[in-house]
Amino acid sequence: MVKTNAKGLSPIVEIERPSRTAIHLQVAESLRRGIQDGRIVGGARLASSRILASDWGVSRNTVIQVFATLVAEGILVSRVGDGTYVAMDARLDPETRANTDGIGGSPGIYPFRDLSRRGRILLSEPDYGVPERPRPFMPNVPDLRSFPIRSWLRLLNEVSGALTGDALSGVSSAGFMPLRKAIAHHVSITRALPCTADQVIVTTGSQQGLDLTSRLLADRGDPIWMENPGYLGTQAALAANGANIQRVPVDGEGMDIAAGIERALAPRLICVSAARQFPTGAVLSPSRRHALLEFASRTGAWIIEDDYDSELHYAAPPPIALGAQDRGSRVVFMGTFSTTLVPSLRLGYLVVPQDLIPAFTNARSISQGHASLLEQMVLAEMMNRGTYAAHVRRMRKLYRERQEVLVSTIKEHLGYFVPEFERTSGMHVVLPLVPEANDVRLAQRLAETGILTRPLSPFFSGGEALQGLLLGFAAFRPEELTRAGEKLSALFDYVAPAEPGCS
Amino acid sequence: MVKTNAKGLSPIVEIERPSRTAIHLQVAESLRRGIQDGRIVGGARLASSRILASDWGVSRNTVIQVFATLVAEGILVSRVGDGTYVAMDARLDPETRANTDGIGGSPGIYPFRDLSRRGRILLSEPDYGVPERPRPFMPNVPDLRSFPIRSWLRLLNEVSGALTGDALSGVSSAGFMPLRKAIAHHVSITRALPCTADQVIVTTGSQQGLDLTSRLLADRGDPIWMENPGYLGTQAALAANGANIQRVPVDGEGMDIAAGIERALAPRLICVSAARQFPTGAVLSPSRRHALLEFASRTGAWIIEDDYDSELHYAAPPPIALGAQDRGSRVVFMGTFSTTLVPSLRLGYLVVPQDLIPAFTNARSISQGHASLLEQMVLAEMMNRGTYAAHVRRMRKLYRERQEVLVSTIKEHLGYFVPEFERTSGMHVVLPLVPEANDVRLAQRLAETGILTRPLSPFFSGGEALQGLLLGFAAFRPEELTRAGEKLSALFDYVAPAEPGCS
């Protein structure tokens, strides 16, 4: 129906001959219909008038006349020296087109037909697209080169032999039982969280865990607390499920529960990264933990503990899981293997209170099915043989060294007046900037010189964003960190003493 | 905190000595707290009084006294000759316990605390749990023994070598590009559906595809059409997303569009299995296809074409995809590898209209992340090397033969007056029963004799359920089919001539 090649789009048009309607009107109408139908999509470049005239069997003047008409209608756009394009919003009716000017978001995105309201919310969140090749100082990326690929492949080879006969019909949506057992064991040892294998629900990662939990435990419009600043993936998953997101401020002791109680709506669900707040690195203090659990138990709120990197605490073990202190069983614990192993493994888990097991299992089965059986089998073996624990220990040592290298590099290039960084955990440090700095623009400028940072201010919602840059160190060798570090000197004029809570 | 073994649960109790509180009261209180905390879970069998006395360092009489107290409170249950158990609802306070008697559903399930409304809907759908070991005549299971495990493992070995470095950081949420290309190619050839790799969104199976589509394209309360009878997984996914499900009757020509227009609410979304209706096997007739597309284009409704087994048409190629005839681009095409390969692979796909690509990609990234990279890589190789197409051809031949065997077996045991079965496609046949039969009870009775069928009536919603049994043949060898077939003679009195639409 639509031919397209290097020369541009040559849509097929319907022309009746003879007809009482002039040919240029027939062609224009045919193009309008094609655009409305979606056969001709916004943004496409049309072939030249010469080619179209030949393809359509009309004179070149006719084509030019059609172009002029449709440009006037806003359906086509003419770019001098470049050609004629189908307008991005060609499909909208003229009034809507006039009113949505600029609203459609980035110019590469079409105006959408009839998404649901919840679909539009999903679309309004940023698309992270294909993960980029890691380069300094990308945060949230583990050292991909350290992944024990050989022992992983060896295990893959071993376990895949078991993948025959009945095993191929699948497993429970809650996951492969030996993996659930291994995780229950791991969590009860490393996080002091007593649980049975039944309570472990294997997911394809934290986003799925958040999605499931916020659907099962909160309805559209229910207030849900999240940290401010906080993880954008959390924001996106909650927004997608229609949450009334209440941002609760974070300081050096983590989420400020008293401020939440005072200023936010009473929540149905509270998302908290207690062991290490993202992105500030704050650890929820004992009194805050107590206040949070007491509040949840008193009001009946649920808690999701996003335990995304408690295994990367360098100086001392992380504080125990909230659930270990939670007498009311109101905590859903969420762990991931994306930070300790690799993101592409797509495995994470939830530890849910006993009485929520059927709901979570059912929800998985109805909306997603189980995670990759093969990878669950390999991971179970890794955990049972101690390979996983050994890898995590190795990574802890490696990251701790890399954090030291990064901090020295920062001091070297930005002067020794920069604040002491929190160096006990995580995969990034936060470099605080003066309030007059524009961290988004600075990050862009640094990206142009080849180094990648994440600005701090977008993690805030509401008026009081701090300026800063997240610098990741986990995925990079010391020499990569020191080499890239030279470019940080461009920040010299913007560095500020740390604010509390962003150490 | 809680020790459990073959001998039963031996919870740790806190006893203060000396204390003004009697030891049996302290032990009882400690157990009550453990149960309220969730450390001691409902349904658990306690160790014997002798063991507990020794573990707790108290006299056996003390243990017996504690048991008596807690049994009287309803917290423990004593089963003669078996032992003492924690009551399923031990955690509730006594009044609630009294009031919820029998409401909690099956005795293994707790009454739930505070699920969201949408969570409760999810829970009300049946939990299929761990897939059972296939046995005749389980429908919807491919022949697991025919899965080309050796060539699959060989490919796994080959491609896993590429899983190093940057590849480990993951791929687009829409899927691994080489697989998306292979699927686009496959679909455009086998289903006459022209599409680009961009339009292909790799999912972890049809349930995820339905979940995503119904969230993105319809809001809570929006009318969605589905077939009557229809696939229960569809029903569950739509209900979970708050759809106002409108069941539209099915006859020998598939979904009755005119009846839908006349009797059902105007839909936001229409779910249809056009190439082969599930469970009846009806093929949507050309005039119905036309009516459906015309209706969708006129009213702006979206269509999901659930193409779950179009690759298993034995006599002639399946009708082309609805989207191939759809000038308005209102069709989301949904394919799966669970029927052609194995369910445990957990891979399926959607082909979405051009302008919905960003919405689907974003939604995947926010709510689920991508499917297993490794399995996407293996499948892409299988498709590119022709191994996949060869496997499907082999299965078509195998299943066709097995269908013949099953039909002969049915005729042998139920007499030659049974209707001619539709034998051109699928993995099951429907054996129609007389209206006086109770297919659910008959299926149960057959299950007790060791053969597994699925009753037809539960696939209906609303008053007019037909009685019948689905008999699957795909997963079983001819000798298994004929041997199990003998037991079908129990149905002799109930077999009826086929109703239209249930051939």
Banded model confidence at residue B112, pLDDT cuts 50, 70, 90 = very low
Q: Do A38 and B355 touch (CB under 8 A)?
A: yes
- Segment among A10-24, A79-93, B98-112, B150-164 with least mean pLDDT: B98-112
Axis-axis angle for helices A117-124, A232-240 (nearest 10): 170
Of chain B, the percentage scoring pLDDT greater than 70 comes to 87
Task: Count how many pairs of residues, chain A against chain B, have C-beta atoms within 8 Å.
Answer: 286
CATH 3.90.1150.10 matches B392-494: yes
CB neighbour burial string for A326-346, b if at least 16 within 10 angstroms, e if fewer: bebbbbbbbbbbbbbbbbbbb
Banded model confidence at residue A348, pLDDT cuts 50, 70, 90 = very high
Q: With 60 as the cut, is the pLDDT of residue A5 above it?
A: no
Across the range A362-380, mean pLDDT stands at 84
Look at residue A141 in the predicted model and tell me its pLDDT: 87
d(CA A336, CA A353): 18
pLDDT in tens, A434-456: 999 999 999 999 999 989 999 99
Look at residue A163 in the predicted model and tell me its pLDDT: 75
Of the partner residues B110, B160, B368, the one whose CB lies closest to the CB of residue A355? B110
Across the range A82-88, mean pLDDT stands at 75
Look at residue A318 in the predicted model and tell me its pLDDT: 84
d(CA B269, CA A247): 35
Look at residue A496 in the predicted model and tell me its pLDDT: 79
pTM across the whole model: 0.74
Task: Say how far residue A225 (Cα) sits from the centre of its chain.
Answer: 18
Q: How far is B23 from chain A (nearest CA, A)?
A: 23
Which residues of A are less than 8 Å from B170 in CB distance? Answer: 131, 342-344, 346
Rounded to 5 degrees, φ, ψ at B446 are: -65, -35
A83-86 and A200-203 beta bridge pairing: unpaired
- Segment among A162-166, B9-13, B260-264 with least mean pLDDT: A162-166
pLDDT in tens, B116-139: 887 877 776 655 555 677 889 998
Banded model confidence at residue A321, pLDDT cuts 50, 70, 90 = very high
Across the range A99-103, mean pLDDT stands at 33
Domains of chain A by residue range = 2-91, 147-388, 392-494
Helix (H, G, I), strand (E, B) or coil at B117: helix
Of chain A, the percentage scoring pLDDT greater than 70 comes to 87
pLDDT in tens, A475-502: 999 999 999 999 998 888 888 765 444 4
Pick from B20, B21, B70, B18: which is nearest to B49 by CA? B70
pLDDT in tens, B339-372: 888 888 889 999 999 888 888 988 888 877 778 8
Residue B335 β-bridge partners: B349
Which residues of B are less than 8 Å from A220 in CB distance? Answer: 118, 220
Please give the single-letter amino acid code of residue A77.
V
Which positions ≥6 away from A288 have C-beta within 8 Å? Answer: A253, A254, A255, A256, A257
Across the range A307-312, mean pLDDT stands at 88
Look at residue B418 in the predicted model and tell me its pLDDT: 67
Across the range A44-58, mean pLDDT stands at 84
The verdict on ipTM greater than 0.90 is no
Residue A203 β-bridge partners: A348
Which positions ≥6 away from B463 have C-beta within 8 Å? Answer: none
Look at residue A128 in the predicted model and tell me its pLDDT: 52
CA distances from A42 to A90, B356, B418 (A): 6, 13, 56
Banded model confidence at residue B1, pLDDT cuts 50, 70, 90 = very low
Q: Do A131 and B204 touch (CB under 8 A)?
A: no
Name the E strands within A213-279.
223-228, 244-251, 254-255, 269-272
d(CA B300, CA B214): 15
pLDDT in tens, B13-54: 888 887 878 888 889 888 888 877 767 777 677 888 888 888
Q: Do B125 and A362 touch (CB under 8 A)?
A: yes
Which residues of B are less than 8 Å from A147 in CB distance? Answer: 164, 168
Helix (H, G, I), strand (E, B) or coil at A65: helix
Of the partner residues A37, A122, A354, the one whose CB lies closest to the CB of residue B327? A37
Higher pLDDT, A228 or A345: A228
H or E, element range at B151: helix B149-160
CATH class for domain B147-388?
alpha beta
Per-residue three-class SS string for A78-135: EECCCEEEECCCCCCCHHHHHHCCCCCCCCCCCCCCCCCHHHHHHHHCCCCCCCCCCC
d(CA A309, CA A276): 7
Which residues of A are less than 8 Å from B361 in CB distance? Answer: 127, 129
pLDDT in tens, B399-439: 999 999 999 999 888 876 667 777 678 899 999 999 999 99
Banded model confidence at residue A253, pLDDT cuts 50, 70, 90 = very high
- Segment among A4-18, A35-49, B133-147, B248-262 with least mean pLDDT: A4-18
Higher pLDDT, B133 or B236: B236
Average pLDDT, chain B: 84
The listed CATH number (3.90.1260.10, 3.10.330.20, 3.55.40.10, 1.10.10.10) that belongs to domain A2-91 = 1.10.10.10
